[in-house]
Chains A and B, each alone.
Chain A
Amino acid sequence: MNMHVEVAATVPGAAPVATDAPAGDLDARAKRAAEIAGRHADAVDREGRFPAEAVAALKAERLFGIQVPVSLGGEGASMSEIAEVCAILGRACSAAAMVFAMHHIKLASLVTHGQDSAWHAALMRRIAGEQMLIASSTTEAGIGGDLRNSLCAVEAQGTGDGDTFRLTKEASVISYGAQADLILATARRHPEAATSDQVLVALLADQITLERTSTWDTLGMRGTCSDGFLLKAEGLPLVQVLQKPFAEIAAQSMLAASHLLWGSVWFGIASYAVDRARAFVQAEARKKPGQVPPGALRLAEAANELQAMKSTVVAGLARYEAAKGDPDALSAIGFSIMLNNVKTTVSVQAVDIVQRALSVVGILGYKNGTPFSLGRQLRDVLSAPLMINNDRILSNTANLLLVQKGSGKLLSA
């Protein structure tokens, strides 16, 4: 019964959930998917393969469409609700959680900016109905990870009507590009456009060719399969190009969704590590009643930092939910600085927390295949400060701080 009370409390207005939504609230659905993800996480990591079982479970639980508005066949889930699912998955399999987060980051762009385009509205209906997996192609050879610049361009084809286009992109990274049903790619608006005059193009898997140019063999996050590809599309309808400037899409939905959902994945990883450390210390304490185990102090520090990390993510989510739908608030400089700070802060905290937890559980954490193993989590979370390098983000913040004034208030922006 409790479950139904929770649905009402956490999913306001979502009563007419898609008729085929699985049983239970989002938490219950996420936990079932996480259980499957966790079972295969070590194999995914060891073999550096796509978390296919986890993704199949996420589709079975219909979690890929939750962000799509109810009017388009989804469940209208909020960023906070999606963040909670990311954290639940992050505890089980970082790669599966990251795939889920990246999918919803792209979907946020469609939901925020694509609803007035009939083609993109129909696409969202398909995403909810068919549980399509969306990948992102922003990184490009010659540009690197600089989201806000592109070299490749949308080239209108045909002399007369010009209603189709061609796109060739040297995409040096497309996470799970080979497994995605849909890729949202950045490109210059036309071949003469400035590198920062970008649009977002929706490309269905069966409309493009992908030639693999590099393989993702990494320290951690091995299951995201972020291979490099030469992406080619030819003769596609121009309606698939979102006409809104990508600069606005990036500022108003993508950056916020990225930092908040990644932060939630990292929180999941860190909270799992602290739970392992806590279980370890409690077992020690039970063995020697009357004594405080030596790792207890380190555990207290890790728990302390986990709480600070959680507060930062939750405050960021609250600021986002409050600003949502207000383009001025979302593109304000103070808002960008806040989001940048969330990312740089929690990405460093997550690494630190997992390392502290490892020092608590000691050799049993260092060793693979024990109930306290934290090697995979540590390797995975080390990507956090590098995935959009914190130095790049700090430089951006430093630039913005040249003009920001700040309110000095505690409870408001």
Chain B
Amino acid sequence: MVEISDIRDVLKSLESLKGVVDTLSDDDDLFEKGLDSFGSVQLMLALEERFDIEFPDSALGRRSFSTIRIIRDTVAGLRQQEAA
């Protein structure tokens, strides 16, 4: 099970977001809160490492990483696929 709090932990490791993570709601658009393309790549790498997953190219769009809730759903979906 992937918890929202796990995703928040990962976000706190990012330079571009670490100061604001606690003020974010689960549905805030991270790109509007300072996440840039460099940060989004760092985020993907951190998520791949933390959850032992690999994002396929199809999941590498902006949309998969736009909010905390969507990230949680994306990661949970990938974990389920890999378990199956």
Beyond A194-B33, A196-B34, A396-B37, whether A333 also contacts B63 by CB under 8 A is no
- B10 CB to nearest chain A CB (Å): 14
Interface flag for A411 (CB, 8 Å): no
Interface flag for B24 (CB, 8 Å): no
- Chain B interface residue count, CB cutoff 8 Å, equals 23
Is A400 a contact partner of B41 (Cβ separation < 8 A)?
A: yes
Is A404 a contact partner of B61 (Cβ separation < 8 A)?
A: no
Residues facing A in B30-66 (CB within 8 A) are 31-38, 41, 44-45, 48, 54-58, 60-63
A251 — which chain B residues lie within 8 A by C-beta?
Answer: 62
Is B36 a contact partner of A328 (Cβ separation < 8 A)?
A: no
B63 — which chain A residues lie within 8 A by C-beta?
Answer: 327-328, 331
Beyond A331-B61, A331-B62, whether A402 also contacts B34 by CB under 8 A is no
Residues facing B in A297-342 (CB within 8 A) are 327-328, 331-334, 336
Cα separation A149 to B61 with both chains bound (whole Å): 20
Is A197 a contact partner of B57 (Cβ separation < 8 A)?
A: no
A406 — which chain B residues lie within 8 A by C-beta?
Answer: 57
Is A148 a contact partner of B57 (Cβ separation < 8 A)?
A: no
B41 — which chain A residues lie within 8 A by C-beta?
Answer: 333, 399-400, 402-403
Q: B4-21, CB under 8 A of A: which get 1 and which 0?
A: 000000000000100000
Interface flag for A405 (CB, 8 Å): yes
- B71 CB to nearest chain A CB (Å): 14
Interface flag for A36 (CB, 8 Å): no
- Interchain CB contact (< 8 A) of A332 among B34, B35, B57: B57
Interface flag for A407 (CB, 8 Å): yes
Interface of B is mostly: helix
Cα separation A334 to B29 with both chains bound (whole Å): 22
Is A405 a contact partner of B57 (Cβ separation < 8 A)?
A: yes
Beyond A196-B36, A331-B61, whether A405 also contacts B31 by CB under 8 A is no
Cα separation A196 to B54 with both chains bound (whole Å): 27
Interface flag for A247 (CB, 8 Å): yes
Name the CB-closest residue of B to A194.
B34
- B37 CB to nearest chain A CB (Å): 7
Cα separation A327 to B31 with both chains bound (whole Å): 15
Interface flag for A362 (CB, 8 Å): no
B37 — which chain A residues lie within 8 A by C-beta?
Answer: 148, 336, 396, 399-400
Cα separation A195 to B16 with both chains bound (whole Å): 11
Cα separation A245 to B62 with both chains bound (whole Å): 12
B45 — which chain A residues lie within 8 A by C-beta?
Answer: 402-403
B57 — which chain A residues lie within 8 A by C-beta?
Answer: 332-334, 404-407
Residue of B16, B32, B58 with highest tally of chain A CB at under 10 A: B32
Cα separation A189 to B61 with both chains bound (whole Å): 23
Cα separation A336 to B60 with both chains bound (whole Å): 11
Cα separation A251 to B62 with both chains bound (whole Å): 10
Cα separation A194 to B57 with both chains bound (whole Å): 28
B38 — which chain A residues lie within 8 A by C-beta?
Answer: 396, 399
A149 — which chain B residues lie within 8 A by C-beta?
Answer: 36
Cα separation A240 to B56 with both chains bound (whole Å): 39
Q: A328-B61, A331-B63 are in contact. List 13 more A-B contacts (CB 8 A).
A: A196-B34, A196-B36, A247-B36, A331-B61, A331-B62, A332-B61, A333-B60, A333-B61, A334-B57, A399-B41, A400-B41, A404-B57, A405-B56
Chain A interface (Cβ within 8 Å of chain B)? 148-149, 189, 194-197, 245, 247-248, 251, 327-328, 331-334, 336, 396, 399-400, 402-407
3 closest Cβ pairs, A-B complex:
A194-B34, A333-B60, A331-B62
Q: List 22 A-B contacts (CB under 8 A).
A: A148-B37, A189-B32, A195-B34, A245-B29, A245-B32, A247-B62, A327-B62, A327-B63, A328-B61, A328-B62, A331-B63, A332-B58, A332-B60, A333-B60, A333-B61, A334-B57, A334-B60, A336-B37, A396-B37, A399-B41, A403-B60, A405-B57
Chain B interface (Cβ within 8 Å of chain A)? 16, 29, 31-38, 41, 44-45, 48, 54-58, 60-63
